[in-house]
């Protein structure tokens, strides 16, 4: 059986930024990433100003992510629209680009990274790998994103009776699409679901949906849902005109609103394994990077024994942004409430920036 002082499971923003910090601190570790090549994970793609500040501390400049800033938020519901300036500019970026930059920076700093290694199960602080081998650690950092690992799964109760699914549609890098969306992150609100849209570094549109299974089933699948929403909203239909060919990417049973308030000795949960903020807040990647920053500080200062206190502290830190985002999500997925919300946002221009501030980690 192989051993390592610190084992990081997952090479996304949480795992890669943790490996980078541990490498710079001279703390021995090993990161396992299941994919051999960096993919483009299903993700909203919006980086808030808080996320950009954390990435800057890691040596990743905002302009290296996307030279075009995102300066506004735009809200659509029931034929109504509201727009407001963000408190500070953000960026739109693909996960492929972000993950590539972070993993490269980690490896340049001397991080131990092994790719193409699947962790099938976790038993205490021992990882059982796809080839049957086992890897034991003194501290295990679970950074597997929305994908649970057997033996360390998040509670099923977090998913509720009508679970939420994530879908992603890609839009062409058409000049007309870029003019329509511009320097804004958009939210299109519908019955039991919503869609977020932002322009990425390559000019393509990243259109991500969060929808309850009941609504998706009623529509007969992803294409039926997109068609139904296009019939309800002319702006949404206009965006869909630039849809690229292909089946939408999907992830099932996303436990929005869940936080890890406890853990076992030596087990640090990061990113979506620590807190799952509703995606309309645009703060998922910030939680990933912030949890890695906090875990690195706790581990280098207190070793594996710091895991329990770290998880409690981070759960408290995530309580407000996750709670505010959950409330906003519950309003957004009810058509009558969403229309009232958009009307209020038009009448009180400070409302959307306030919600944006309150949902930052």
Segment 120-154, tens digit of pLDDT? 999 999 999 989 999 999 999 999 998 899 999 98
The secondary structure of 11-56 as a DSSP string is -SHHHHHHHHHHHHHT---EEEES-SS----S---EE-HHHHHHHH
Q: pLDDT digits over 79-112, tens only? A: 999 999 999 999 999 999 999 999 999 999 999 9
Residue 227 is assigned to a structural domain of this protein:
no
Residue 356 is assigned to a structural domain of this protein:
no
User: Per-residue pLDDT for 302 more than 80?
Assistant: yes
User: Per-residue pLDDT for 254 more than 90?
Assistant: no
CA–CA separation, 90 vs 325, rounded Å? 18
Q: In what order do the strands lie in the sheet with 184-190?
A: 46-47, 80-92, 69-77, 184-190, 193-199, 205-212, 164-171, 249-254
pLDDT of residue 42: 85
CA–CA separation, 250 vs 42, rounded Å? 7
Mean pLDDT over 321-339 rounds to 95
Which range marks the domain in which residue 280 is found? 2-41+95-158+256-329
Residue 149: closest CA among 115, 123, 120, 117: 120
Residue 176 is assigned to a structural domain of this protein:
no
Residue 299 is assigned to a structural domain of this protein:
yes
Q: pLDDT digits over 158-190, tens only? A: 556 889 999 999 999 999 999 999 999 999 999
- Across the chain, mean pLDDT equals 95
Residue 270 is assigned to a structural domain of this protein:
yes
Total domain count, the chain: 1
User: Per-residue pLDDT for 286 more than 60?
Assistant: yes
The secondary structure of 200-227 as a DSSP string is -TTS-EEEEEEEEHHHHHHHTSHHHHHH
Q: pLDDT digits over 41-79, tens only? A: 888 899 999 999 999 999 999 999 999 999 999 999 999
Residue 21 is assigned to a structural domain of this protein:
yes
Residue 30 is assigned to a structural domain of this protein:
yes
Q: What CATH number is attached to the domain comprising 22?
A: 3.50.50.60
CA–CA separation, 135 vs 4, rounded Å? 8
Residue 357 is assigned to a structural domain of this protein:
no
């Amino acid at each position: 059986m192989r051993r390592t002082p610190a084992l990081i499971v997952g090479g996304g923003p949480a795992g890669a930024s943790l490996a980078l910090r541990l490498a710079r601190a001279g703390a021995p570790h090993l990161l396992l990433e299941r994919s051999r090549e960096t993919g483009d994970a299903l993700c909203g793609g919006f980086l808030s100003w808080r996320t950009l500040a954390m990435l800057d501390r890691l040596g990743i400049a905002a302009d290296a992510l996307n030279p075009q800033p995102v300066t506004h938020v735009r809200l659509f519901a029931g034929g109504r629209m509201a727009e407001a300036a963000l408190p500070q500019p953000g960026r739109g970026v693909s996960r492929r680009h972000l993950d590539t930059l972070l993993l490269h920076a980690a490896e340049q700093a001397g991080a131990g990274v092994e790719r193409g290694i699947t962790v099938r199960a976790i038993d205490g602080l021992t990882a059982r790998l796809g080839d049957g081998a086992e890897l034991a650690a003194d501290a295990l950092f679970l950074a597997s994103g929305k994908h649970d690992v057997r033996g360390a799964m998040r509670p099923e109760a977090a998913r509720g009776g009508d679970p939420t699914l994530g879908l992603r549609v890609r839009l062409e890098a058409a000049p007309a699409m870029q003019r329509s969306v511009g320097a804004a992150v958009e939210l299109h609100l519908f019955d039991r679901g919503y869609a977020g849209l932002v322009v990425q570094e390559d000019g393509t549109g990243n259109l991500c949906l969060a929808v309850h299974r009941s609504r998706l089933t009623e529509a007969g699948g992803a294409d039926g849902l997109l068609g139904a929403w296009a019939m309800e909203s002319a702006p949404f239909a206009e965006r869909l005109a630039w849809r690229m060919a292909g089946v939408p990417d999907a992830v099932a049973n996303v436990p929005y609103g869940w936080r890890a308030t406890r853990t076992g000795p030596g087990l640090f949960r990061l990113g979506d394994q620590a807190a799952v903020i509703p995606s309309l807040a645009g703060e998922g990647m910030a939680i990933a990077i912030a949890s890695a920053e906090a875990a690195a500080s706790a581990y280098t200062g207190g070793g594996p024994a710091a895991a329990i206190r770290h998880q409690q502290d981070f759960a408290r830190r995530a309580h407000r942004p996750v709670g505010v985002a959950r409330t906003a999500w519950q309003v957004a997925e009810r058509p009558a409430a969403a229309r009232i919300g958009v009307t209020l946002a038009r009448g009180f221009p400070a409302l959307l920036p306030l919600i944006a501030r309150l949902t930052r980690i």
